[in-house]
Amino acid sequence: MKSTFTNGILILFLVLVSNMGFAQTKIEQIEELLSTYEAYGKFNGSVLVSDQGKVIYKNGFGMANMEWDIPNQPNTKHRLGSITKQFTAMLILQLAAEGKLDLQAPITTYLTDYPKASGDIITTHHLLTHTSGIPNYTSFPTFMEDHSRNPYTPEEFVKTFADMELDFTPGEKFSYSNSGYFLLGVLIEKLSGKSYEQMLQDKIFIPLDMKDSGYDNHEDILKNRATGYEKVGRDYINSNYIDMSIPYAAGSIYSTVEDLFKWDQSLYTTEILPKDYMTLYFEPQISAGNSHYAYGWGVGYTQIGNSTDSILAIGHGGGINGFNTNISRTTSNNSLIVLLNNTGGAPLNAMTEAILGIMHGKEYDMPKQSVADAVLTVIDDKGIDAGISHYKKIKNSEAYSLSEGEMNAIGYVLMRSDRLEESSKIFQLIVEEFPTSWNAYDSYGESLMKLGKNDLAINNYRKSVELNPNNQNGISSLKLLGDNVSDLVKEVKVSNAVLETYIGEYELQPGFTLTVTLEGNQLKTQATGQPVVDIFPKSETEFYLKVVDAQLIFNENDAGEIDSLTLFQGGQEMIGKRID
C-alpha cells in the first residue's frame, strides 16, 4: 500500500510539472511575440490574456507617457474608442429589461424632438445594429476641421446629423454608424434622467468593481492615464486633440486590461442583466459578410495563428486619436485577449490571431522589421544613396516587411526636414516598387513640384489621376501647374447588364470577404465588418473607391465568367475567389 501510494504521488507530481512546463512555454511565446512587436515599433500598450477564466498573462509594453518615461502597465488607463459601444448597448438592454424601452418602437416614441420623417421609421434595434441609415458623422468630409475639437452637448451635436437624408431605408442593410450609437447615449439620458457618464458608473462600473474605468473627460485628473501618440517615420508625435463630447456614447470610455477582464467575466453571469436579455445581447442580428453584428459586438470566426483553423469569437475593435484597441472573447473555452495600444495603428488583429495560435498550439507569424525604418536609419547615418542600396538589399528579405504606407511616411519625414532631393528619391523608389498605386505617383509629383521639376511633376500627377480619377489633390495640383485637365475629368459609364455580372461574394482570406451589390446603376462593395461603400468605374472591369485608396479589377475565367476580383490597396495585391 505504501509503495503504491508513493508512486501515485510521483505520477501526479510529474503530470503537474508537465502541465506547468507547457503553460510556461505558452507564456514565454506570448512574451516573445509581444516584445518583438514592441522592438519593431509595432505595439506600445497594455495586454491581458486569459484562458479557462484565469489570467495567464498581463503586461505593459513601451511608454504610457513618453515625455516622462512612464511605462505602460496592466493598470494603465487607455481610451477604448469603439469598444465603448458594447457598454452603451448594455445600458440600453438594461433599460429594456426594466420595461422602460421597447427595442422595436420608433425612436420618436422617446425622443419626441427628433425629426419625424426618419425618427418614425428608425428603432432602437436599428441603432444598435448599424442598420438605421443615419449617416456616420465621423465620415463627414470636414468632420476633423469643423467638429472634432469643439465641445457640444449631446442635444446640440445630434442636430449636426438629425436632419440629413438617410443613406438607406432603416433595416435594409448594415452600415457602421457612430451617429447611431451617439443617439443611443441621448436615449439613455432621456429615459434614465441621468447623464450617460453617471449611468455607466451606476449600472456597470460600480457593480462590477471596475474602479479604473469611466468616461474620459479631458479636464479630469486621472492617475495612470496613457497619452495618445501617432507614429511618423521612426518617431512619435502627440495625437491630434479631440473633445470627448464628440465620441460620447460611440467611443468615450477609458479602461484598463484588468478592468476589461472583470467585464468579460461578468458577461458569463446575470449580475447586471437578466439571462434572456444577455442571450439577446450576443445574438447575431445582421450579417456583415462572413461575420455578424449583435448589439455592440461583432460575432464571427477568427483565424487561429496562420493555420486554416478558426474559432468563433465575440469582439470589437476601437480607434480614436492616438489609440487603437481590440477585445476578443472566445466563449467556448472562456478565454479573452485584450490589446490596448496608445500609438495608433498597431496591427492588433494579426497580434490576436498569433496569440490564439500560441494558445491552441498552432503555427503563428512573428512580426517582421520595417523596411522603411531600417532604410531611414541608414539614410540618416550614411546618406540617401546608402539608404537606397540598403533598401534593395533587404526589401525581399524574410526578416523584413515592406509597406508602401511606411515608405511613403519616411518620404514625408524627409520632405518636412527640407531634404527635398532625398524625399524625391524615396518617392521615386515607391513608384518603381508600387506602379499601380495612385498615391505613390501623387507623392512623387508633390516632391518634384517642390523641386521645380514641373514637367516631371505633371507626368506623375497625371498618372496618379489616371489610376484614381477621384484624386482631387492631383487634379488641383495639375491646375496649379498650368496643365489642362479636361481629358482627365470624365465620366465612365458601364451598362447594368455588365455590372450585374459582378454581383457576388469574394473571399480574400478565410473569414474576410468583399460582397458586391448593385443598387440602381451604382455598384457597391462591403468588406467583412465594414460599411457599404460605392465603387466607381475607370473602365468596364476596373473600379475605384473614393473613401479609401483602393481599386478593384474583376477577372474572367476561360469561359468568360467572372470568377474572382483583384484588390489593390496599400501597395498590396489580393485575389478574392468568387464564392457566391
pLDDT for position 22? 42
- List of residues 6+ apart from 185 with CB closer than 8 A: 88, 154, 196, 248, 249, 250
Q: Return the HEC string of 17-50.
A: HHHHHHHHHHHHHHHHHHHHHHHCCCCCEEEEEE
How do beta strands 369-370 and 400-401 pair? parallel
Range list of H helices, 227-369: 248-251, 257-266, 275-282, 348-359
| This prediction's pTM | 0.81
Contact 373, 235 (CB under 8 A): no
Nearest Cα neighbor of 331 from 52, 523, 118 is 52
Q: Where in the chain is the domain with CATH 1.25.40.10?
A: 369-480
DSSP track, 408-431: HHHHHHHHHTT-HHHHHHHHHHHH
In 397-541, the DSSP E strands lie at 400-401, 504-509, 512-519, 522-527, 532-537
Mind listing the pLDDT tens digit of every residue in the chain (580 residues)? Answer: 333 333 333 333 333 333 344 445 899 999 999 999 999 999 999 999 999 999 999 999 999 999 999 999 999 999 999 999 999 999 999 999 999 999 999 999 999 999 999 999 999 999 999 999 999 998 887 788 878 889 999 999 999 999 999 989 999 888 899 999 999 999 999 999 999 999 999 999 999 999 999 999 989 999 999 999 998 888 899 999 999 999 999 999 999 999 999 999 999 999 999 999 999 999 999 876 557 899 999 999 999 999 989 999 999 999 999 999 999 999 999 999 999 999 998 999 999 999 999 999 999 999 999 999 999 999 999 999 999 999 999 999 999 999 998 999 999 999 999 999 999 999 999 999 999 899 999 999 999 999 999 999 999 999 999 988 878 889 999 999 999 988 887 778 899 999 999 999 898 876 678 899 998 889 999 887 667 888 988 889 988 887 676 889 999 998 889 999 999 876 677 899 998 7
Nearest Cα neighbor of 45 from 231, 219, 216 is 231
| 3-class secondary structure, 109 | helix
Largest CA distance in the chain: 100
DSSP track, 269-305: S-SSS-HHHHHHHHS--EEETTEEE-SS-EEEEEE-T
Range list of H helices, 83-138: 84-97, 116-119, 124-128
Q: If residue 463 lies in a helix (H) or strand (E), which one and from where to where?
A: helix 454-467
| 3-class secondary structure, 245 | coil
Cα torsion through 394, 400, 403, 404, rounded to 10:
0
- List of residues 6+ apart from 115 with CB closer than 8 A: 162, 163
DSSP track, 141-202: TTHHHHTTTS---HHHHHTTTTTSPPSS-TTS-----HHHHHHHHHHHHHHHSS-HHHHHII
Q: Where in the chain is the domain with CATH 2.40.128.50?
A: 496-578
d(CA 556, CA 537): 17
CATH 3.40.710.10 fits 79-230+240-359, yes or no: yes
Contact 478, 465 (CB under 8 A): yes
Contact 380, 360 (CB under 8 A): no
Q: Is 37 exposed, middle or buried (0-12, 13-18, 19+ CB in 10 A)?
A: buried
Q: Is 47 exposed, middle or buried (0-12, 13-18, 19+ CB in 10 A)?
A: buried
Q: If residue 544 lies in a helix (H) or strand (E), which one and from where to where?
A: strand 542-545
| Angle, helices 420-433/384-394, rounded to nearest 10 degrees | 20
pLDDT for position 15? 33
Query: What does CATH list as the number for 496-578?
Result: 2.40.128.50
d(CA 251, CA 179): 11
Where do we find the cell 477582464? 261
C-alpha cell at 478: 495639375
Helix, strand, coil share (%) of the chain residues, nearest 5: 40, 25, 35
Question: Cα(first)–Cα(last) distance of the chain, in Å?
Answer: 67
C-alpha cell at 146: 469643423
| Angle, helices 348-359/2-39, rounded to nearest 10 degrees | 160
C-alpha cell at 276: 434572456
Contact 366, 31 (CB under 8 A): no
CATH domain 369-480 topology = 1.25.40
- List of residues 6+ apart from 181 with CB closer than 8 A: 84, 85, 88, 127, 249, 250, 251, 296
Q: Where in the chain is the domain with CATH 3.40.710.10?
A: 79-230+240-359
